[in-house]
Amino acid sequence: MEKLFQKIDDIPNIEDLVFRINKSLYAHKINKTVTIQSPEYNFYEMIDEFIKANPHPVWNGLSLKSGLIFVLGKDKAQGLHIDGFRADRSGASNYALNIPIRNTGIGSMDWYGEAPYRLEVQQIADATVMGRKTNSNKYLKLEWDGEPKLIASVTIKDPHLVRIDVPHQAINLCKEKPRVMLSIRFTPDLKWL
């Protein structure tokens, strides 16, 4: 079976980045998915400065490309999808570095396969940029020709490299709190360590 995730250890000062992101999320009362590029919040600059100040093999020689602070409501499952903006995935990353921010230990990230599928571009209905809902965030919804099967699952309590070009979803089993995950992409694309 192909590798779909890898735990990443020893990221220096990762707790500081998580603290700073959490502090900003609370200060801005953010409870929806936001892109790190939203100029209102300065997440891109915060993460880019962190990466430059904390060398690590996972991003050695790479530049921060994009990302999301993904908020999944309590007791919710994200729809199965593949990350990207176009059905041909031109220019899309195949890997992301997922860094747990809040409440990620009660649920999972799951990958599916073993059935053919087609990709359809979808808008993220509840994404927020500059305090407004936006349709600028897209993902690729799957139209299956058959019944997909669960092929891998992981609970992300520590930073992980994850495949985002394989059908996947996040699940939050907590009935009291949303799940918050930082998911960042790099250029050139990330690779397994």
Query: What are 52-94's pLDDT values in tens digits?
Result: 999 999 999 999 999 999 999 999 999 888 988 788 888 899 9
What pLDDT is recorded for position 127? 47
Q: Is the dihedral of CA 86, 79, 43, 10 positive or negative?
A: negative
Residue 155 has pLDDT above 60, yes or no: yes
Residue 177 has pLDDT above 60, yes or no: yes
Model confidence at 154, in pLDDT bands (50, 70, 90)? very high
| DSSP H or E stretch at residue 47 | helix 43-53
Q: How far apart are CA 192 and CA 183, in angstroms?
A: 16
- Residues 139, 81 contacting (CB under 8 angstroms): yes
**What pTM was estimated for this model as a whole?**
0.90
What pLDDT is recorded for position 124? 59
Q: What percent of the chain has pLDDT over 70?
A: 91
Query: What are 108-151's pLDDT values in tens digits?
Result: 999 999 999 999 887 655 544 444 444 445 667 788 999 999 99
Reduce the DSSP state of residue 162 to 3 states and report it: strand
Residue 153 has pLDDT above 80, yes or no: yes
The answer to which of 33-37, 87-91, 136-140, 161-165 has the lowest mean pLDDT is 136-140
Q: How far apart are CA 24 and CA 41, in angstroms?
A: 8
